[in-house]
Amino acid sequence: MYSSSIVLFHSDSSLAHFLMASLRNSFRSIRVVQSMDDLRATVASSHAGVVILDMEVASLSEVEHLTNDFPGLHIVCIHRLADEEMWTAALNAGAEDVCSSTSPGSILAAVRRHVIEHPTAA
């Protein structure tokens, strides 16, 4: 089990719960939030190491703010459309990976890869 906590902010509650169930046995805690304010508060209070962030409900500036406000936080952005320009912008804003939200396996692999390669002290 990884020691990191995950915070998940996704526009599709059924996919959010699927991801939560898929990651439950691998991570200390997984919390699903309903807003950016909840995400920020939860990251701060739980010392989360990973955020899975749906780009349909978050802006690139919010990715930048998270990166600046929480050094060491691993951000995996997801979006239902394969838009290389937007994905590149998300990486430039501080995301460590970008995946299609229609590919839960890719999301899980990205989260595991970044936690294994770059574990946080959380």
Which domains are present in the chain? 2-117 (3.40.50.2300)
Q: Tokens 């059924």 — which residue?
A: 14
pLDDT at 3: 59
pLDDT at 119: 54
Distance CA(84)–CA(98), nearest Å, equals 10
Name the nearest CA neighbour of 101 among 43, 65, 52: 52
Query: Which residues sit opposite 97 in a β-bridge?
Result: 76
Name the nearest CA neighbour of 12 among 57, 43, 51, 74: 57
Q: Tokens 């020691």 — which residue?
A: 3
Task: Provide the whole-model pTM.
Answer: 0.86
**Which range has the worst mean pLDDT, 5-9, 41-45, 50-54, 106-110?**
106-110
Output the six-digit token pair for 75.
């951000």
pLDDT tens by residue, 28-64 = 788 999 999 999 999 999 888 899 999 988 999 999 9
Q: Which residues contact 14 (CB under 8 A, 6 or more apart)?
A: none
More confident site: 4 or 66 = 66
